[in-house]
Structure 1
Amino acid sequence: MAATVFYLDQVPEPGGIAVLDGPEGRHAATVRRIRVGEPITLSDGAGVLAPSEVIATQKDRLELRVLERAVAPPFAPSVTIVQALPKSDRSELAVELMTEAGADVIVPWQAARCVANWEGKARKGVDKWRAAARSAARQSRRAYIPEVTDLYRTSGVLDLVRKVKADRGIVAALHESGESRFTALPVAEASRVVLIVGPEGGLDDAELSALTDAGAEAVLLGPTVLRTSTAAAVALGALGALTPRW
Structure 2
Amino acid sequence: MSSLYLDESLDLTTLAPGATVDLTGDEARHAVTVARVRAGERIAIGDGRGVVVRGVVTSTGPRELSLEAEEVLVEEPPATRITLVQALAKGDRDELAVQAATELGVDAIVPWAAARSVSRWEGPKAEKGRQRWAVIVREAVKQSIRSWLPQVSPVATTAQLTERLAGARVLLLEPSATTALSGLQPDGRDLALVVGPEGGIAPSELERLIAEGAEPVRLGASVLRTSTAGPAAIAVLNATLGRW
Q: TM-score, normalised by structure 1?
A: 0.91
2:42 is aligned to 39
Structure-2 separation of matches of 1:60 and 1:223: 52
Which has the larger displacement, 190-199 or 16-25? 16-25
1:205 is aligned to 203
- Is 1:129 the counterpart of 2:128 in the alignment? no
- Is 1:104 the counterpart of 2:99 in the alignment? no
- Is 1:6 the counterpart of 2:5 in the alignment? yes
Consecutive unaligned residues of structure 1, counting only runs of 5 or more, are none
2:51 is aligned to 48
Residues matched between the structures, number: 239
Deviation, structure 1 residue 176: 1.1
- In structure 1, give the amino acid aligned to 2:106: A
Structure-2 separation of matches of 1:76 and 1:245: 10
- In structure 2, give the amino acid aligned to 1:116: S
Structure-1 separation of matches of 2:225 and 2:195: 10
Consecutive unaligned residues of structure 2, counting only runs of 5 or more, are none
Show CA shifts across 1:69-107 (max 9, x none): 342122332101111112132232221111001110100
Q: Would you say the 8 A contact 1:77–1:245 is kept in 2?
A: no
1:147 is aligned to 151
Q: Would you say the 8 A contact 2:94–2:226 is kept in 1?
A: no
- Is 1:185 the counterpart of 2:188 in the alignment? no
- Is 1:76 the counterpart of 2:79 in the alignment? yes
Which has the larger displacement, 228-237 or 8-17? 8-17
Which has the larger displacement, 189-198 or 96-105? 189-198
Structure-2 separation of matches of 1:126 and 1:66: 34
Identity %: 41
Q: TM-score, normalised by structure 2?
A: 0.92
Deviation, structure 1 residue 49: 1.5
Residues 38 and 11 of structure 1, relative CA distance in 2, 3 Å threshold? farther
* Aligned structure 1 segments of 4 or more residues deviating by more than 3 angstroms: none
Show CA shifts across 1:88-143 (max 9, x none): 32232221111001110100011110010001110100000111100000000000
Match of 1:23 among 22, 26, 36: 26
- In structure 2, give the amino acid aligned to 1:126: R
Structure-1 separation of matches of 2:220 and 2:188: 21
SS at match of 2:156: coil
Q: Would you say the 8 A contact 1:94–1:229 is kept in 2?
A: yes
Structure-1 separation of matches of 2:141 and 2:73: 18
Q: Would you say the 8 A contact 2:48–2:147 is kept in 1?
A: yes
SS at match of 1:108: strand
Residues 180 and 23 of structure 1, relative CA distance in 2, 3 Å threshold? same
- In structure 2, give the amino acid aligned to 1:194: A
Deviation, structure 1 residue 55: 0.6
Q: Would you say the 8 A contact 2:100–2:231 is kept in 1?
A: yes
SS at match of 2:71: coil
1:229 is aligned to 227
The correspondence of residues 49-64 of structure 1 with structure 2, limited to 5 A, is 49-64=52-67
2:243 is aligned to 245
- In structure 2, give the amino acid aligned to 1:10: L
SS at match of 1:180: coil
Structure-2 separation of matches of 1:35 and 1:136: 23
